[in-house]
Chain A
Amino acid sequence: MSRESLVDHARALDCIHCGLCLTTCPTYQLTGSETSSPRGRIHLMRAVAEGRAEPDATFEDEMNFCLVCRHCESVCPAGVEFGAMMEFSRGALLERRPPGPLARLARWVGFRGILVRRAGLRLAAMGLRAVQLLRLDVITSPLLGLRGQIFRNLPRVPSARERRPLPPVTEAEGPARGTVLVLDGCVMPELFGRVNRAMTDVLAATGREVRSVPKHVCCGALHAHNGELNQAEDLARLTIAQFEEVDGSAPVVIDSAGCGAHMKEYGRLLANDPEWRGRASAFAARVVDLTEELASPEATARLQERLGDGHGIEGPVTWDDPCHLCHGQGVREQPRQLLDLVPGLERVEMPGADSCCGSAGIYTVLRPEDSLEVLDPKLESLESTGAKTLVTANPGCHQQWQIGVGKTGKGVEVLHLAEVLERALKPR
């Protein structure tokens, strides 16, 4: 494999080395090392492509140390597409230096065995539930070091009833406003089925007919972020086809920021596939985050009629921006507006709400120490707000915050925005 093919050289040339990205980067904040900053990593990519540096262990480690939170993209005046470059480099590194047999097995089981198969996901969820019911997680956690800490604080796998898939069709309430498609997702139904149901209820309350895509399992976001680009492309094609089969034009509403950000970029992902390029871009244009959908004037008007104050959510609440919502999709105001619609709910701003919590997909599992170190300043931030409820909109962040709140022992409740709205819906 040639050096050029290791990195996205053309994109690297957009960086003019001004350094405005430095302070946004969680790993630069952690280490103070420019090598572990966006500018430093782009320098490394370019130096490797131009033969001035080796794609050695340090290079690989810096690529994997990055959380791909894309905070740097939000401040980059030159518009460097850092997330895309990182996916490219990780993919190329995997091909160049395949991981050892154990890691390969783990990746195969994770990316091909579990994430993309409903049966695999169910089995994994049942296994984890059994472990949690038998309290094996608590017993074994001391043996697992930091991973044990994470393991112990993983969200409880809910009962099978809560893990049932969404109904294929949910009727609109009141005057109908057309159909939307929703994504069940891979991990969401197993761990956060209640969030999916809350999303469906809230959408229906705003007059949407909600249709799910029962065949669909995984959008491929985790694959792309971790360099499994070929499989990510296959999953994108499959996703598009399966959604189109149900409805060819309705908006696709996503309650998981990481998936939404990725699905909005299907056009770029399949740009080199002439057969799919146009179709992928058209599909990507249909994808909206749940908060974008609900913040439209029509939906907001309906919500205002339906939201009441008997929700029992303890305030003040604070909103933590999922990186792939604020940096990946540029969605910042809508979730705040929606929280402010809820009667009797005080909202406070958290300092650094738009910086990464350390979840970053499967980063928590791959690099537990770094992940928890990135989380620490966020926990301090949360405490400084005095918030009793933290609201987010992405399963990874949701889980990471539960780990963090569990670790500190502070009784802060972590909720998805859809859950907040659903709890505040007055009975009809």
Chain B
Amino acid sequence: MGSDGKQLSRRHLAELERIVGKKGVRADPTARSAYESDAFMLQRASAEVIVLPRTTAEAAAAIKVLREAGLVVVPRGAGTGLSGGARPVENGAIVGTARMRDVLEVNAEDRYARVQAGVVNVHLTAACADAGLFYGPDPSSQTACTIGGNVGNNSGGPHGFKYGSTNRHVLGLTMVDSSGEVIQLGGPGAAGDGDLDLLGPVVGSEGMLGLVTEVTVQLLPRPEKVETLLCLFESLDACCDAVSEMIARRLEPSAIEILDRLTIEAVEASVLRAGYPDNAEAVMLVEVEGGDEEVDATSADVIEVARAFGAFDTRRTTDPVERKRLWAGRKGAFGAMGRIAPDLYVADVVAPRTRLREIVSAATVACRERNLKLANVFHAGDGNLHPNISYDRRDADEVRRVLEAGRIIMEACVAAGGSLTGEHGIGLEKQDEMCLVFSDDDLEAMDQLRAAFDPDAFWNPGKMLPVRGCREIHTRPLPVHSPAAEGAS
């Protein structure tokens, strides 16, 4: 049993096994160690026990036992998160939803689905494909990440540009609160029924308000036509500027992604090779959806802008197999970086889309000065940048330099009027940087909201909100340049 901190008694352990079955409890140290981090590898910690319920009822019963045992709880989906949100905490159990993977209902008429929280994102879309429907948010980890985890992080994905993040799609939630009671928020037809809208705070709460066990989401009709465009640039800057221009011209593709040369090389060397050409410094991947004429017109406009900004080649395809290949390359980009170094720091910042180039060059300088390898891949359409810095965690000084560069990138984004996270959450990674954006008063208000759901800090304590006050961290919110003031200067 847990060698440090609180011991889980034999009685509690037996009780947990009775509730979720023997296979649903992993208590020995070797088995638990596989949960010591999520995909954010910089900070690791040991969980006291891993509990994997199969139903809401099992989850609720298990929560009561864990509470009685004096442990706190970190909810976890597939552990693909990139900010440490699902990392264990001291005296904490992991309650994972990986065995809760039933699609409970697909209602094609009213266009919603009700799923258990552990349903994998792509499995939901597969389950409603026959009805001609799909689920909007498509995080790059969608072949593994869970809908529950998407709710926790308010996940987006490339198509977030058109469809928005998870919060735009959740209609209702079932969750277990800290006393082990099951509560329902919203529902398929609950819009505007006069209750307080509590879905808002829960989506994106990173597991700090309760354990979400079931999710009702809206489904979208599959577009008539989908076309994927690939535009090749000789410079990353020109590629960024082309995106800014597309936004300024109010073009509405469903996704605009940029991959730089290092990313292209890593992807092309992998099983997910997408056929991105090796002579481009940057690749822009654009998807256009809608009716025939609409798609043709938008695609022509996108290509025109790309050409005007120096794209030396453009390709377009509506073939589903080819499209899938192009996207698989983009979605595997993060993992493919394993070819470059053992570890990867994936920054997740948002900048105004008119200033992409500026942020990219700030990141480039920060990494060059610190002798770090930077690869850029980002959801350019919604200004969500993922500068990826390769490192080896066994090199303490390199780790320090990575964190320093990460902070400089965040500061640059906040100063440009952007934000700390687009879709990966704050977790452990960006807690201190919360003070760049929020005052102590803001943070206090957030903490009060948290406490209204969870007065005893039972859920994922010590995440997201800075543990120490901002004054102690010596950081004040940065002054934000407004684009208007910028233009006037």
Contacts and interface: CB of A to CB of B under 8 A. Distances in A.
A362 to B, nearest CB: 24
A53 B33 contact: yes
A80 interface: yes
Contacts of A177: none
A10 to B, nearest CB: 10
B334 interface: yes
Interface string B336-347: 111100111000
Given A14-B338, A18-B39, 19 more contacts: A17-B41, A18-B334, A19-B79, A21-B144, A28-B98, A32-B24, A32-B52, A32-B118, A33-B23, A33-B50, A34-B78, A35-B34, A35-B35, A43-B33, A53-B30, A75-B143, A77-B267, A77-B270, A77-B333
Contact of B78 (A22, A53, A54, A62): A22
Interface in A12-62: 13-23, 28, 31-35, 37, 39-40, 43-44, 47, 52-54, 56, 58-59, 62
Interface string B39-79: 10100000000101000000000000000000000000011
Ordered nearest first, which 3 A-B pairs have the shortest CB separation? Answer: A78-B338, A77-B335, A32-B98
B31 A58 contact: yes
Residue from the set B98, B99, B337 with the largest chain A CB neighbour count within 10 Å = B98
A75 B30 contact: no
A59 B98 contact: no
B335 A16 contact: yes
Contacts of B37: 17
Interface string B69-99: 0000000001110000000000000001011
A178 interface: no
A73 interface: yes
Nearest to A19: B80
A73 B34 contact: no
B98 A34 contact: yes
A20 B143 contact: yes
A409 to B, nearest CB: 27
B23 A18 contact: no
A14 B342 contact: yes
B320 interface: no
A86 to B, nearest CB: 16
A74 B333 CA distance: 15
A76 B331 CA distance: 11
State which size class the interface on A falls in: 35 or more
Nearest to A55: B30
A73 B271 contact: yes
Interface residues of B, number: 49
A34 B266 CA distance: 26
Interface string B306-336: 0000000000000000000000000011111
B131 interface: no
Interface in A61-102: 62, 73-80
Contacts of A15: 338, 342
Nearest to B36: A43
Nearest to A58: B30
B435 to A, nearest CB: 28
5 contacts: A16-B344, A19-B144, A20-B335, A74-B271, A77-B338
A177 to B, nearest CB: 32
Interface in A357-416: none
Contacts of A78: 270, 335-339
Contacts of A33: 23, 26, 31, 34, 50, 52, 98
A79 B52 CA distance: 30
Contacts of A52: 33
B29 to A, nearest CB: 7
Contacts of B267: 77
Given A35-B26, A53-B30, A78-B336, A19 B35 contact: no
B269 interface: yes
A44 B338 contact: no
B33 A44 contact: yes
Nearest to B100: A32
Interface string B1-43: 0000000000000000000000110101111111111110100
B399 interface: no
Given A14-B342, A53-B30, A77-B272, A31 B144 contact: no
Contact of A40 (B23, B34, B39): B34
A420 B52 CA distance: 44
A69 B338 CA distance: 22
B65 to A, nearest CB: 19
A59 B30 contact: yes
Contacts of A77: 266-267, 270-272, 332-336, 338
B271 A54 contact: no
Nearest to B123: A23
B96 A32 contact: yes
B141 A20 contact: yes
B80 to A, nearest CB: 4
A47 to B, nearest CB: 6
A329 to B, nearest CB: 13
B33 A80 contact: no
B288 interface: no
A31 B23 contact: yes
A16 B144 contact: no
B34 A43 contact: yes
Contacts of A80: 338
B120 interface: yes
